Amino acid sequence: MADLYQFRGEPEEPLDCLYVLNTSGSDPLDRLELPAKDRKALKAKAKALAPRGEEGELISGECPMKAARRVTFVGVGEERKLTHAKVRSVLRTVIRQAARNREYQIGLALPVRIHGLPDGESRLFTILEAALADYTFDHFKSKKNEFDKIDGMHLIPLAGETEEELEARLEKVRLFGGAVRFARDLGNRPGSDLTPEALASAARDLAEESSGIRVTVLGPKELTKEKMGGILGVAKGSAEEPRLIVLEHRPKKPKKSIVLVGKGVTFDAGGISLKPSKGMEWMKYDMAGAATVLAVMRAIGAMELPIKVVGLVPAAENLPSGTALKPGDIITLSNGKTVEVDNTDAEGRLLLADALAYSAKFNPDVVIDLATLTGACVVALGHEAAGIMGNDPELTDRLVKLGEEVGERVWPLPLYDEYLDYLKSEWADLKNAGSRWGGPVTAGTFLKQFVPENVSWAHLDVAGVAYLESAHNGFGPGSTGFGVVLLLSYIERLLK
């Protein structure tokens, strides 16, 4: 991640290039905190280069300010149409251009507003997109991507933005941005590299590095003792042992208690109900929910909130083999309910059920789970929103509104009682998969049976938003880290 600085006065070395975001219509240069002579010079330069501010436009010239060698005006289109995705996409273009030109220290003037957001939020999320724009996953490449070389981003303050205000924003962006990158890295790691134990080891490392986070990892012995037939069942076909990772942030006098649960299937081949091979490589990201929960816990320690936050990650690998679960098998989950496993590819709900039941131990007010749970949710909402289901309309509403604000959209789907009929089994209390119909909501209904009493619960099906096969909305291909900013913002505002 490039370092973030405030651009006040003159840097020791001139910056390689100053990038100025530019809308069509208004004059954003007035919104920058600049010495009068620099503003004047920049305006004259803009007049000479005559950028139109149209989306995708990049116009460069010599920088009239001593602080930078070059200046590039970057068009973002009409301001009232500016969304998170558009800002992300424009900043990605900036980084690509900077890397191509070997500009490793860049200035950023971001005098634009994301439509519909209060100024402070808009500023924060714009800087956050800048800090994420050079994200790349080249861990396994001998030749590193050019993006890696962007060293410093120097932000010009907005008019009236004090040094303290901007520094507080940068600090938060470092924290949130670091967490998002952490989640993306986990989501991009292949299955044989990121096994359930490797996920547990990542959790141990993050607990060691962040103050105020405790980690416990349950292995097969403990899982057997807890009668977690779901987690153990899913792992049966694999040579990799399952884990239940428990991360806890326990302040002295917590005012609220929240449990986050993340699906941690480190690879999902489908088990005996084997998936078709086309696209199966994507199933390395079936632990995206887990990645988000780990990333949130990594940041939460530093935020020092008087809220008990617990992260639960049931982790296993779903493979076919001579020891795997077979369709028709009946397993017993930790709350005593029996489940006929009709389709071994509907494995996420089995291990989540055990984790949801286990959450009762922490007396939560709120439980939120994130899971790449159904392909049908991708069919329904594409890559634009996660599906959200739950038992508390107030919680759902809040997350829908917040999602819009932070640029991680979630959209409600119903959990009608009738869906439970779809899961009736002849032989056990429930079966794990219904017919073709109502994929996301039957999965949500299954989970609902395992949520402790009197808990506000929301389930986010992130199958469509956690990972992209190709670049989209300003994201590069691969893991997006969806949910990290949404959950951190939710928890941060819980007491307000």
Q: Which residues bind ligand BES (CB under 6 A)?
A: 268, 286, 343, 345-348, 372-376, 378, 433, 439, 463
Residue among 344 and 396 whose Cβ is closer to ligand BES:
344
User: Does the annotation count 123 as an active-site position?
Assistant: no
Among 62-70, 198-206, 227-235, 340-348, the segment contacting Zn ion (CB under 5 A):
340-348
Residue among 134 and 286 whose Cβ is closer to Zn ion:
286
User: Does the annotation count 102 as an active-site position?
Assistant: no
> DSSP label at 284?
G
User: What distance in Å separates the CA atoms of residue 267 and residue 270, rounded to the nearest whole number?
Assistant: 9
Tokens of 397: 């509403």
Is residue 268 close enough to count as binding Mn ion by CB under 5 A?
A: yes
User: What distance in Å separates the CA atoms of residue 189 and residue 333, rounded to the nearest whole number?
Assistant: 30
Residue among 173 and 346 whose Cβ is closer to Mn ion:
346
Of 430, 410, 204, 420, the closest CA to residue 333 belongs to 430
* Identified binder of Zn ion from the candidate list 268, 342, 354, 405, rule CB under 5 A: 268
For residues 459 and 390, the answer to whether their CB atoms sit within 8 Å is yes
Active-site option among 349, 409, 431, 448: 349
- Smallest gap, in angstroms, from Cβ of residue 318 to Mn ion? 6
For residues 331 and 324, the answer to whether their CB atoms sit within 8 Å is no
User: What distance in Å separates the CA atoms of residue 104 and residue 126, rounded to the nearest whole number?
Assistant: 20
Distances (CA, A) of 179 to 206, 210, 300, 406, 431: 11, 12, 10, 15, 37
For residue 463, the partner it binds in ligand BES, Mn ion, Zn ion, none, with Cβ less than 5 to 8 A by kind, is ligand BES
User: What distance in Å separates the CA atoms of residue 467 and residue 485, rounded to the nearest whole number?
Assistant: 16
Among 162-170, 196-204, 341-349, 388-396, the segment contacting Mn ion (CB under 5 A):
341-349
Residue among 117 and 351 whose Cβ is closer to ligand BES:
351
Among 70-78, 231-239, 260-268, 416-424, the segment contacting Zn ion (CB under 5 A):
260-268
Residue among 177 and 233 whose Cβ is closer to Mn ion:
233
Give the three-state DSSP class for 495: coil
Among 207-215, 237-245, 262-270, 461-469, the segment contacting Zn ion (CB under 5 A):
262-270
Is residue 286 close enough to count as binding Zn ion by CB under 5 A?
A: yes
For residue 196, the partner it binds in Mn ion, Zn ion, ligand BES, none, with Cβ less than 5 to 8 A by kind, is none
Tokens of 438: 């109502």
Question: Binding-site residue total for Zn ion (CB under 5 A)?
Answer: 4
Backbone angles phi, psi at 438, to 5 degrees: 65, 45
Backbone angles phi, psi at 147, to 5 degrees: -50, -35
* Catalytic residue annotation: 275, 349
Q: Catalog residues that contact Mn ion under the rule CB under 5 A.
A: 268, 345, 347
